[in-house]
Amino acid sequence: MSKMEIKNIPLFKNLTSEELDLVKTFLIDTKYKQDDLIFTKGKIRDKIIIVDEGLVVLEAELKGPKTIALFKQGDSLGEMALIDNSSHHNYNVKVVSPNFSGWELSSYNWYTIIKKAPQLAEKVYQNIARNLKNRLNHANNKLVTLFTTGKMIGSYNSFNELSGAIVDIIQNIIPFDRALFLTYSPETKKALVHKSLGYPNIKEGQYIDAHKDHVLNLLVKEPGTSVFDFDTWPKGSSDLPYKCNNLIISPIHVKNRVFGFIILGDRSDKSNFSVNNKILLQAIASQLAPAIEDMIWEKFSSAQAEIKEIYIDPFVKY
């Protein structure tokens, strides 16, 4: 059952009631299942889709599929079909929620509509331009961030330098007041603070006992980027040193083995962290994970070689 009224869809902003009624007659109800491709890269653009219920992602190939944008209720996809129906899709668009329902408007029906009401087209095209501008800003920000992160990872041998550079990059895209960059040892169950920004009581070089930390312990067991606000902090987290009004935390992990955390607290503009913020931070953490794993292994191997040279070799090679 549809939850959204057509007049509240951004694509149809400023349309009169008569124009909305005309559009309604050409909208077709559509449903998809999880992992269905709504649009496929290389296929011709012949329709737009409007989300009523469910979530959809746009994926780009950046050393494997990367989520560039997420679409939710009220969002429209494939608007270029209304402008140039001979062009082709550049990306896959996939359903990520268990179910999806929405509306479909074919480019053929669109041209029928604008023949009946030419003034309607100008309003919709203005709305498309506005929507695409906002979407491109987000996508470009994310692509630039991922590219920059990937380029700089290999430039640092120090966790402290790397963490500082990563936090600086993120702050250019997601405005925040506080941040922590931690590495984590599964053996000691402790997290080491490499970068602390906006947390005067958390010092760089300080250890946090992740086993006793309800949030970190939860994310070690089930790695996944999470957002907490005033009402959603887990039970027992009232004394956490990094607690704030709104927080997003992304484990840095390879499969289920966690090597660190990126924590951002309180957006500078006082709004809550968004789903797109969550997607971006998760993508950065995923890109960092192999490099962090390699750096930890190199430090371990170096320490192991030093112990062997100082404490073992003298007794073996005397």
Query: pLDDT digits over 68-85, tens only?
Result: 677 888 999 888 888 877
What confidence tier does 177 reach under pLDDT thresholds 50, 70, 90? very high
CATH number of 159-308: 3.30.450.40
Residue 301: the pLDDT is 47
Rounded Cα distance between 289 and 293, Å, is: 6
Residue 302: the pLDDT is 47
Q: Which two tokens stand for residue 32?
A: 């998809």
Least confident interval from 7-11, 23-27, 132-136, 174-178: 132-136
SS3 27: coil
Phi and psi at residue 68, to the nearest 5°: -100, -35
Model confidence over 181-226: pLDDT tens digits? 999 988 889 999 999 999 999 999 999 999 899 899 999 999 889 9
Least confident interval from 41-45, 80-84, 91-95, 139-143: 139-143
More confident: 90 or 148: 90
176: Cβ contacts below 8 Å, ≥ 6 apart:
170, 198, 264, 265, 266, 267, 268
Does residue 236 carry a pLDDT above 50? yes
CATH number of 6-142: 2.60.120.10
Phi-psi label, residue 231: left if phi above 0, alpha if psi -120 to 50, beta otherwise: alpha
Q: Which two tokens stand for residue 164?
A: 């500082």
Mean pLDDT over residues 146-169, rounded? 69
Does residue 133 carry a pLDDT above 50? yes
Instruction: Looking at the chain, list the stretches that DSSP marks H as alpha helix, in order from N- to C-terminal side.
Output: 17-24, 107-116, 118-153, 159-173, 214-221, 275-307, 313-316
Mean pLDDT over residues 237-241, rounded? 87
> By C-alpha distance, which of 20, 68, 65, 27 is closest to 49?
27
Domain positions in the chain:
6-142, 159-308
Rounded Cα distance between 75 and 134, Å, is: 12
Question: Mean pLDDT for the chain?
Answer: 82
Mean pLDDT over residues 290-318, rounded? 51
Model confidence over 257-301: pLDDT tens digits? 898 999 999 999 888 888 778 877 888 888 788 877 776 555 544
Does residue 150 carry a pLDDT above 80? no
CB environment 17-37: b (16+ within 10 A), e (fewer): eebeebbeebbeebebeeeee
Residue 66: the pLDDT is 62
Cβ(48)–Cβ(12) under 8 Å?
no
Residue 312: the pLDDT is 42
Rounded Cα distance between 98 and 112, Å, is: 34
Cβ(51)–Cβ(72) under 8 Å?
yes
Does residue 180 carry a pLDDT above 60? yes
What confidence tier does 136 reach under pLDDT thresholds 50, 70, 90? low
Model confidence over 92-131: pLDDT tens digits? 899 988 889 999 999 999 999 989 998 898 889 888 877 7
The alpha carbons of the chain give a radius of gyration, in whole angstroms, of: 24
Residue 300: the pLDDT is 44
Least confident interval from 21-35, 100-114, 130-144, 155-169: 130-144
